[in-house]
Structure formats: C-alpha cells, structure tokens
Amino acid sequence: MITIKDKTFVPFIPADAIQERIQELAKQINQEYADKRPLIVVVLNGAFLFAADLAKQLTIACEITFIRVASYAATESSGQLKQILGLNESIEGRDLIVVEDIVDTGFTLHEVCKQLRDKQPASLTIATLLFKPTALKEPLDLHYVGFEIENRFVVGYGLDYDGLGRNTQDIFVLA
C-alpha cells in the first residue's frame, strides 16, 4: 500500500509481471519490424519508464525520439486542443511506433496520431502499456497493448497522481 497526498493506492500490477509482458511486446516488435528501421515516438512524461524498458529489449535498428502533448483551451466552448511539442525530425516516410503509458478515453492519442499522420509517415502503430477499454471514446487501433485494465485510476511505473508516484517499479490502483 502507498499513500500519495490524500489518496491511498494498493498493489495492482507487480514489477515482474510488467517486465515479463514488456519482453513479449518487444519480441513481437522485433519480429514485425525486423526489416524496418522504426522511429519510436515516446509520449512524455508517463511513458518514460515503459519506453526505456521496452527499448532495452529491442534488437532491431531503431531511432527513439520524445514528444510532449500540451493541452490548452482555445476558447471556452471549443474544449481542449492538443499540440505536439518537441518533434524536430522529419517523419515523412518513416515507420512510427508511438509509445504511450495509458489509453483512457483515447482523445490524446487520437489527436496525436491525426497530427502525426498529416506529416505522412510510411506507417504508424501504437504501443501502450495500459488500456482501459470501457473508457474509450475515440476509435483507436492499438497494435501493442501491455495490459487491459478496468476503468480505475492507476499510478506508478511512470504514471503520476498530481506529479507524484512515477518512480515505482510496480503499478498501484486507487483503493
């Protein structure tokens, strides 16, 4: 059990299960990208540990880059817009693997993938460590999924609660 600020979290996915699943995902990527040289696009901050552990298991030639997604309200009525920050290289003609920590409603990745596709990559697949299928509101083709989980709030292994809790080896769920 861990406490972060006012909330209590209980163990959910232990470190060894996470690492085992990452090995399986890496094996699949190594096979499917054996004759390619993908550009791995890591969505910060949440995916930093997942991406690091995944990358260490990749035996293919690949490049790794990092982006952030900034949310801002353009006007009060248009809701949240999302902007990709930090993508400096050309992705035209590249095989992209977008690495995320968690897909909840899918709004973030849906918008990110739309903006990336506008720049004409050769292909784009998504690798997410966690996926909450019952929370999904935007259609998304998730090619690599670590774990499908219930619609509950999780922290740890990169995922935060109010900026805290990213630095654990296990994943915890709100009690």
Active site residues: 104
107 binds, among Mg ion, ligand 5GP, none (CB under 5 to 8 A by kind): ligand 5GP
Is the CB of residue 116 less than 8 Å from the CB of residue 141? Answer: no
Binding test (CB under 6 A) with ligand 5GP, winner from 104, 115, 119, 143: 104
Q: How far is the CB of 108 from Mg ion (least distance, A)?
A: 7
Measured at the CA of 163, the angle between CA 132 and CA 117, to 5 degrees, comes to 50
User: Is residue 112 near ligand 5GP by the rule CB under 6 A?
Assistant: no
128 binds, among Mg ion, ligand 5GP, none (CB under 5 to 8 A by kind): none
> Rounded to whole angstroms, how far apart are CA atoms 147 and 154?
12
Q: How far is the CB of 58 from ligand 5GP (least distance, A)?
A: 22
Is the CB of residue 139 less than 8 Å from the CB of residue 22? Answer: no
User: Is residue 83 near ligand 5GP by the rule CB under 6 A?
Assistant: no
Those residues with Cβ within 8 angstroms of residue 93's Cβ, 6 or more apart along the chain or in another chain: 120, 121, 122
Applying CB under 5 A, the residues found at the interface with Mg ion are: 46, 101, 160
